[in-house]
Amino acid sequence: MKKFLFAAICVLTLSSCYNNRILVGDVSENDPVIEVQKQWNSHWLYGLIPGKKTNMDADLFVKGRQNYVVKTNISFVNGLIGSITWGIYCPTTTTFYVPLDEAQ
């Protein structure tokens, strides 16, 4: 029982959520942004094999804007699905944001 408890504590404390944020154009970190689109990406075998939707054209999501933010992360739900499938399927979420003053 102690080994199982130790393994469970290690898994919970040594895991993290991947988060990557890319600022495109004339956008700074502190500018207010609004979410315009969210897309799930498929990855297989702990992310070693990319799925079909990993190469996305940002113009389809931001509709030709020059300034936008792309955030890719592993959310709690993505991590839960990855752990349920034992790493066979590991999704990530890509979210596109535009500055608040350009959203209209």
- Contact at 8 Å (CB) between 23 and 31? no
The token duo for 70 is 């792309």
Inter-residue contact 7 to 68 (CB < 8 Å): no
Residue 97 confidence (pLDDT) above 80: yes
The predicted-structure confidence for 1-19, as pLDDT tens digits, reads as follows 888 888 777 666 666 667 8
Q: CB count, 10 Å around CB of 68? A: 22
Report DSSP letters for 38-71, one per residue. Answer: EEEE-EETTTTEE-GGGS--HHHHHTT-SSEEEE
**pLDDT digits 0-9 by tens, 50-77:** 877 666 777 778 887 888 898 988 888 8
Q: How far apart are CA 50 and CA 32, in angstroms?
A: 32
Average pLDDT of the chain to the nearest whole number? 81
User: pTM surpassing 0.75?
Assistant: no
User: What are the structure tokens assigned to 82, written together?
Assistant: 């990855």
